[in-house]
Amino acid sequence: MVKPHKSRPRLSSVSWTSASRPQSLFIMLMLLSGVGLFMLLTTSRVGSFLEVDQSQPATPATASRVFFRSAEGGATLGYDANTSVELSETSIPRIIHQSWKSADKIPTRFFPWMRSWLEFNPTWTYLFWTDEDNLELFERLYPKYLHVAKSVQKVALADMARYALLHSVGGLYIDADFECLKPFEELHRDNRLFLSTEPLAHSVLLEGATSAALCNALMASVAGHPFWLHVLDNIKDKFDRGEGIGDPVSLTGPRIVKETYLASTPEDAAEVVVFPPEYFYPDMAHWNSEPFDAACRSRDDEVAKEACEWMRKFPNGEYTDNTHAVHHWQCTWCRDAKLTEYGSLDDVFSSPVMRPNISSTGVTLTPYIGAHFWHFW
């Protein structure tokens, strides 16, 4: 449980008399200096901070083109929100993306898991998205898919937004119920896009599939990778045909990611690295144990036997030297996860984190200044 923040005693009000005016001006200058120092420290801390390159005026022809440049003066990266172009970056940006309904009411159960990402990757940028940001991403940068984004459930919108933000910004997207166990530096350095399968038991025993799902709770890529537009195109096509509506797993979730990957050309698929479950999904959703056990008792097909044997062999999960993270499978949208305690984003992190500022020219990263900062002052 997060203890409530104890704010400093409230100062008595200051009347604007000639005697008190210098004192009040001094207080205002101190506040402004504090904000300036906070912004300076924040942007200094974020080595991979991105800003919009406005060297070209926005015109109807260029409005959808997103330009980013490194704050350290690196090469410009340009790509179109609807048409991928050649990228100048060869490694995945060191940006951690997480999302929740709002920044003001986050389940406290998630706090240690969210903190773990900066604990193991302390020099990386942390960017937090909300439901409002998710919709704005489509309103301003991906209007082709806006009618879908406005029509689907919020959980499906969150699915769509993670594909769009990986295309627009790049980096590592992770669900808020994911815990980091090891630094991700090598994974980002050595790959341009990576996914992972989840435990075979999930799709085989619960959904009747014959192979593992490609889970979308942890994904990473360079900015502008065309795979994400293929995913969004497939979602749009499926929605327009009236298929999968009301089923986020099928319409916008793991199934559509897997369908897109399997339909990729050999050249496109060669850039997508698919890690086995031990990397990010070493354990299964134990809250769903009864259907798993029932399936193991009733089925004798080979793929079910394989899934059940894995469950018996690794009752506490298959943790190896390759395990970088673990998903805690809260599934707050599909069940009552009994979330009763909440806090805000500034209850989660003591150091500055970022929020997206989305415009028709791209996404800029803005320091998040929560209530605790103002309480301090």
pLDDT at 136: 98
The CA distance from 126 to 47, in Å, is 11
> What's the topology of domain 37-53+63-376?
Spore Coat Polysaccharide Biosynthesis Protein SpsA; Chain A (3.90.550)
What confidence tens digit (pLDDT) does each residue in 32-64 have? 555 455 444 444 333 333 433 333 332 222 222
What confidence tens digit (pLDDT) does each residue in 11-33 have? 233 333 344 444 545 555 555 55
pLDDT at 49: 35
pLDDT at 269: 86
Taking 50 as the pLDDT cut, the residues of the chain under it are 1-22, 24, 35, 38-88, 373-377
pLDDT at 90: 75
Whether the Cβ atoms of residue 180 and residue 259 lie closer than 8 Å to each other: no
Whether the Cβ atoms of residue 5 and residue 346 lie closer than 8 Å to each other: no
User: Does the reported pTM lie above 0.85?
Assistant: no
Helices 200-207 and 302-313, packing angle to 10 deg:
130
Q: Is the dihedral of CA 15, 21, 23, 27 positive or negative?
A: positive
